[in-house]
Structure 1
Amino acid sequence: MTTISNATLAVPGADLYYEVRGTGPVLLISQSGEGDARRSEGLVRQLEQTYTVITYDRRGLSRSTIHDTTEPVTMATHADDVHRLLTALTDQPARMLGCSMGAAIGLHLAVEHPEQLHTLIAHDPVTPWLLAAAERAHHLRELEHCQQVFRDSGWQAALAPMVKTLGIDPRNQELEPGVELPSITPARAANFAFFIGEDFTAVRTDNLDAAELQRSAVHIIPASGRSTPHEVFDHKCAQELAVLRDTPVVEFPGGHNGNMTHPSAYAARLRDLLTAV
């Protein structure tokens, strides 16, 4: 079994927990939703023989402690955390898999610190700013509704509108043989609460200069899950990113959470794409 090294990096206003394992070119995985450094263990185990895999807890999740909770956490804040993490761990451009919110973080990095990224795979990016005004407004209202349900009735009640907004059906998810999805522990419940209560605001208020993103020298691969519904905004954002970058959307096994439900097939697709680049 590969040895996992872990440490904490001091960043402005927080301590960022991270893990490193494997050997080869650096591959940073920025997780979606409530996901911390261990969210997609099955996927990481498939990749650690080929890559030096870095995973981390986004600030506010699990072991990444925020010192001043009065300061809002923005997407730019999350991107700066990743910039500092990569600066501390490598002097070479990294590969990056960004899932959902992690993809939005990666797009910021591609604009603000393009020298740090070799390739970004942006899977179902939650980037409403990529959409046309009317569609963007509609999907922003969906996110606001999720937060209102959370404030009124708690994170468990907010899961129903959230999974509908993102196109996840937890009762009808295809799984690879032998895959079991993690249960909701108290720590994961706290992560859900932070994600919906705080990070949804970061998504809603996010913005990036599309012209700068179009010009970025980073090799950006828009991606979406095979079973991600085409009407949900994360799939539409992948399509708009593809138009902006003049490249097709790459299909991955599974849906929005394919990195968890189909770790072997997802890892194979990821390796093929990175090898081709």
Structure 2
Amino acid sequence: MHTSIHGTGPHHLVIVQPGDGDADASAALVQELVATGEFTVLTYDRRGLSRSPAGDDPVTIESHTDDLALLLAKHAWPPADFLGMSIGALIGLDLAARYPALVRTLIAHEPPLTQVLPDPAPFVARQRAVEEAFAAEGLPAAMRQFLALTALDLGDREPDAQIPRPGPERAANLTFFLTHDAPAARRFRLYLEPLLSGPPPRVLPAVGTSTSTRPHAEPAHALARLLGTAAVEFPGGHSAHVLRPKAFAARLLEVLR
């Protein structure tokens, strides 16, 4: 798996990207974090994205988690802090449940964890609509559904925030995500018991201030209630790590301290 390590700070942070994001998807956020001098940041391409081969095994959240655990072992990383976003938050939660010795703190930003909802059916229907649009009409239709699901607002950004231009790998990454990762996220069921009754790691469900009342943020609030806390708020919305990297980095540092 392709890995990028940035900075030399004393605090180890792993970013588990959302959607079809590869190791470079949070470049502006990583730059802000490294500039503090406090972080060494690891990012990577999940299997099937950009520079990481898909392999022959079925893609599940659990297989992504196992990949990440092996990656951390390969780089001999100590217990680290994790920022997982969307599907990356599901991977982070699974890692905290099944590999707790690897995790110090996990910030799980707007995970689509439907099992914690009182009525998961409406959320699951919206997830299926994205997959069905892709199967019937292709990438543009699926992305319209996905952007509506996550309430993306490109105007909710810092004045100097740059929206990354799609590279040549984007279409292939989106196709892999919609074919394999989106169904895997919809089918995933977290082994909750270790997080509810065990010792650390510390798990902090998080939402965006702009989207905290939107349907896709409901699982984070529900998970926080199960953990006996309230969801931590971060500036911006579902994609604030790209659109508000300065404010997001400052809030991340505040929360981890």
What's the TM-score, normalizing by structure 2? 0.94
RMSD: 1.3
Q: Structure 2: 5+ residue runs without aligned partners? A: none
Q: Give the Å deviation of 1:112.
A: 0.2
| 1:46 corresponds to | 32
Report SS of the residue matched to 2:169: helix
Out of 58, 69, 92, the position equivalent to 2:46 is 58
Determine the C-alpha separation between the residues in 2 that align with 1:125 and 1:36: 18
| 1:225 corresponds to | 208
Aligned 1:78-89 pairs, distance under 5 A: 78-89=64-75
Structure 1 residues 30-39 or 86-95, which shifts more?
Answer: 86-95
| 2:111 corresponds to | 125
Aligned residues: 253
Determine the C-alpha separation between the residues in 2 that align with 1:66 and 1:194: 9
Q: Is the 8 A contact 2:47 2:55 kept in 1?
A: no
Out of 121, 140, 147, the position equivalent to 1:163 is 147
Determine the C-alpha separation between the residues in 1 that align with 2:212 and 2:227: 22
Q: Residue type matched to 1:55 in 2?
A: T
Out of 109, 130, 144, the position equivalent to 1:146 is 130
Q: Determine if the alignment matches structure 1 residue 97 to structure 2 residue 83.
A: yes
Q: Give the Å deviation of 1:94.
A: 0.4
Report SS of the residue matched to 2:189: coil
Q: Give the Å deviation of 1:91.
A: 4.5
Q: Give the Å deviation of 1:209.
A: 2.4
Task: Label 1:66 to 1:152 Cα distance change in 2 as closer, same or farther (>3 A).
Answer: same
Determine the C-alpha separation between the residues in 2 that align with 1:51 and 1:137: 40
Q: Residue type matched to 2:53 in 1?
A: T
Q: Give the Å deviation of 1:229.
A: 5.2
Determine the C-alpha separation between the residues in 2 that align with 1:260 and 1:53: 16
Identical amino acids, percent of aligned pairs: 39
Q: Determine if the alignment matches structure 1 residue 20 to structure 2 residue 5.
A: yes
Q: Residue type matched to 1:208 in 2?
A: L
Report SS of the residue matched to 2:157: coil
Q: Is the 8 A contact 2:97 2:192 kept in 1?
A: no
Determine the C-alpha separation between the residues in 2 that align with 1:31 and 1:91: 18
Q: Structure 1: 5+ residue runs without aligned partners? A: 1-15
Q: Determine if the alignment matches structure 1 residue 72 to structure 2 residue 55.
A: no
Out of 98, 123, 148, the position equivalent to 1:112 is 98
